[in-house]
Structure 1
Amino acid sequence: AKSSFLTRGTMKQAGSMIYVAVVCPKDSKMLNYMPKIPGVEFLVANDIKTFQSYPKIKSTEAVLWIPPGDTKVLGELWSTIDAKWIHSFFAGVDGLADFVKEKKLAQSSVPLTNGRGAFSSSLAEYAMATILHFNKQIPRIQENSRKGKWDKFVMSTVKGKTIGLIGFGDIAKATAKLARAFGMKVLAVRRSPGKGTGDGLADEVVGFEDRLSVFASADFVVSVLPGTSETLNFCGEKEFDAMKRTGVFINIGRGVTVDEAALCKALDAKKIVGAALDVFHTEPLPESSPLWKRENVLITAHNADFTEDYAEQGWRVWQENYNAARSGKTMVTPVQKELGY
C-alpha cells in the first residue's frame, strides 16, 4: 500500500506540523520511549473528551493505538478527525477487528499498519528455547541435579528433526532461520502457498487445507497464526491426533487459534509429549484452566516478546512507517485489512 492516501488527501508537506493521536493510557510505560521528531506532536489520551480538549485535534492526521488503549475511542476519533493513517503498536490486529468492521476500514484507502517485525526475533528465540527444553529433557536434568543423581541418558539432538510452522509470516520466518541454523528441516502451512518458501527458508509449504500433513510430519509444531475468523480453533482435535506421539506443540501466535480442550485431551491421552504456550483464549489464563499444573506444559504470560527493548522496537517500526508516509513511499508493515493480518 502506497502512502499517498489519494482519496482522503495527502499528509502535510515537509515544514508543517504533523499531529498524531495516541490512544493509550497516560501512565503507559510505552510513552516513556516516545521519539522526539521535529515537526511531530503526539496527542495522548484514552478517552474522546481529552482528545477533544486538544486545540489541534481537528488537524490530526495519524492515529497510533497502543494496547491496552480503548478501541472504542478509535471509532470516536474516526468521526472526529480526517485520519490518513492508523498504526497498531502490536503485530496482532485482532483487537481492532470490530473497529475495522464497524468503520468499514477495509473498504477505505486509509492504510492500517502494525508492529510486524518488532518482536519476531524474541518470539523465534522463545520457540527454539522451548524446543530445546523438551529435546534435551531439561526437567530431567534439573531433577537429577537436585537429587545428586548421575544419570547418563542418551541425549537427543534437534539436528535432523522437523519443525512445522503453522502460519508463515515474519515471526515464522525468523523462527525458520534459527531452526535451519540448528540443522532442522522446515515445513510450513500458509494461507497462500503460492507465495513461496520465503526465499528457501522452508523446505516445503502447503496450504491450510493440507495442514494435517505438516502436523503429522513435524517433531515440533509451532503455531504463529494471527487471530481471525478463519483461524479460530485452527489447531484442534484432528490436528493433535495427527501429530507424532513424540511431538511437541508450541503456540506463539494467538490463543484463539488453539482449541484448548482438544489440546488438554491430547495431553491427557499422551498423544503428544508436551506443549509450550504463551497465548490463550482468555488472558490472564484463569486459575481454573486445566492447562495449569502440568509437568509437560510450559506456560508464559503472553510475555515471550516482552523484552528489555520491547518499547524501543515497537516505536522503531512505527517510525519506519512514519518516514515512509512522509516521503510517499510504500508503507513498511501494511495490514491486509480484509484478512485481518
Structure 2
Amino acid sequence: MSARPTVIVHTDKPAGALGVLAETHPDLEVHACDTYAGLPALIEQTEAEVVYTIRFDGTPRYPRQALVESPTVKWVSIGGSGTDHLGRWDPAHVTVTNSAGVAAGMLAEYALGGMLAFSLDLRGFGRRQQARQWGGGRVEPIEGKTALIVGLGKTGEAVARRAQAMGMRTLGIRARPKPTPCLDEVHGVDALLPLIARADFIVCCVPLLPNTRGLLGEAAFAAMKPSVVLIDISRGGVVEEAALLGALDAGRIKGAALDVFATEPLPAEHPLWGYDNVAVTPHCAAVYDGWDIKSVRMFAHNLARYREGEPLENVVNPERGY
C-alpha cells in the first residue's frame, strides 16, 4: 500500500470514471485502458498498484492473469459484484474487492418484474393484442404467494424486501443461515429441495462457485411445482441448462425469466430463444443509467481508505466468492 498509488481504470467507457477520480483524487496518476488486450502491457508499463476493472467483453478473453499474478498490482477492484471471471487468486498476493450492492435494487426490480410479468400474463396478452383478439387469458395476484430466494447477499435481501412489501411469503437460502430482515424463514443449502417444493417463484442470485455450479439441476427441477416461475439473476452455470430445458419441454414449470447463461452471448441457435414461456434478456438486469458512476464512486471511497491505510470495504474471500 502506498499513499499515492498508480491507478488504472479498465472499462470500455473510461471517461466517466476518470472524471470521478479527477474530482476525488486529483493528485493521483490515473491511466485508462478500454480493451482486454491492452491491459497487460499497460500494467507492466505503469507498474500499476491498483486496477479498477469491469468485465465488459465477456469472460473468455478477460485478462485475469495480468491482474491476479502481476508483481505490482496489490488491489483489484471489480466494478460489479461477481468475481468468477477472475478464477482463483492468492489473497496474500492481491486483494480483490467488489461493488456488491451497486445494482442490488435494479436486480431486485428485475426479479419482481419477472414475477409480475407471469402473474399478469403480460406475454400472453401481448400476443393477443398483436392478433387483435379480445378476451382470453387471466391475471392472478402474487400476494400470498411464496418466493424462495437462493442467495442472500445484498441483491437477495433487496429481492426479499420487495417481495414482502407485495404481501408475499419469503424463504431464503444462505451458506450461513441467520435471521434476516424481510425473510420469514432462512435455511442452509441442505434445505434447498424441501424449500423448492414450497415455492411459487424461485429467484436465483448466488455467485458462481464450484459448490454452486449446477445447484439448480435435475433434482431441483423435479422438486418444483408445475406452477413455479424461475428467475435467474445469478451467473450462467448455476442453473443447469439441460435440466431447465427438460423441465420446459415436459411442462414441469410455468416459465422462466433468464438474464444469465452458460454461454454469452446466447447463441442464435440456442433452444431457449424459442419458448413462449421464457423471457431472455442479455445479462443486462444490473445495467441502468448511472450504475457505472455509482460503482466508480464506491471505488473512489474505498481508494481513500486504501491511501489512509484503513481496511478496505467489500473484500472478497476467494473461497466463498463474496
Contact 1:48 1:73 in 2 (8 A): yes
1:252-271 maps to which residues of 2 (within 5 A)? 252-271=233-252
In structure 1, give the amino acid aligned to 2:40: I
Larger deviation, residues 220-229 vs 45-54: 45-54
Count of residues in correspondence between the two structures: 309
Query: Equivalent residue for 2:109?
Result: 125
Query: Equivalent residue for 1:168?
Result: 152
| 2:179 is the alignment partner of 1:197 | yes
Cα separation, 2, equivalents of 1:11 and 1:240: 51
Contact 1:325 1:331 in 2 (8 A): yes
Deviation (angstroms), 1:241: 1.0
Deviation (angstroms), 1:110: 4.4
Which segments of 5 or more consecutive residues in structure 1 lack a partner in the other structure? 1-9
Deviation (angstroms), 1:166: 0.8
Contact 1:118 1:316 in 2 (8 A): no
Deviation (angstroms), 1:307: 1.0
After superposition, the Cα gap between the structure-2 partners of 1:290 and 1:144, relative to the gap in structure 1 and judged at 3 Å, is closer
1:125-164 maps to which residues of 2 (within 5 A)? 125-151=109-135, 154-164=138-148
Match of 1:255, SS state, is coil
1:1-341 maps to which residues of 2 (within 5 A)? 10-12=1-3, 17-24=4-11, 28-34=12-18, 35=20, 36=22, 37-45=25-33, 46-54=38-46, 57=47, 60-67=48-55, 68=57, 69-75=62-68, 78-79=70-71, 81=72, 83-98=73-88, 100=89, 105-106=90-91, 108=92, 110-151=94-135, 154-193=138-177, 196-198=178-180, 200-341=181-322
Larger deviation, residues 320-329 vs 131-140: 320-329
Cα separation, 2, equivalents of 1:229 and 1:293: 30
Deviation (angstroms), 1:145: 2.9
Match of 2:197, SS state, is helix
> Equivalent pairs: percent with the same residue?
33
After superposition, the Cα gap between the structure-2 partners of 1:261 and 1:30, relative to the gap in structure 1 and judged at 3 Å, is farther
Runs of at least 4 residues of structure 1 off by over 4 A?
none
Deviation (angstroms), 1:293: 1.1
Contact 2:149 2:173 in 1 (8 A): yes
Which segments of 5 or more consecutive residues in structure 2 lack a partner in the other structure? none
Contact 1:30 1:311 in 2 (8 A): no
In structure 2, give the amino acid aligned to 1:298: A
TM-score by length of 1: 0.85
In structure 2, give the amino acid aligned to 1:325: Y
Deviation (angstroms), 1:147: 3.7
Cα separation, 1, equivalents of 2:26 and 2:263: 41
- Residue deviations 1:71-115, cap 9 Å, x none? 232145x22x1x4422111210001114x1xxxx23x17432101
Deviation (angstroms), 1:271: 0.6
Cα separation, 1, equivalents of 2:138 and 2:279: 23
- Residue deviations 1:135-164, cap 9 Å, x none? 011122223333444427553111111110
Cα separation, 1, equivalents of 2:273 and 2:131: 25
Cα separation, 1, equivalents of 2:264 and 2:197: 29
The two structures, once aligned, show a CA RMSD in angstroms of 1.9
Cα separation, 2, equivalents of 1:174 and 1:91: 14
Cα separation, 1, equivalents of 2:318 and 2:68: 16
After superposition, the Cα gap between the structure-2 partners of 1:302 and 1:185, relative to the gap in structure 1 and judged at 3 Å, is same
Cα separation, 1, equivalents of 2:233 and 2:274: 20
TM-score by length of 2: 0.89
Contact 1:18 1:39 in 2 (8 A): no
Larger deviation, residues 127-136 vs 67-76: 67-76
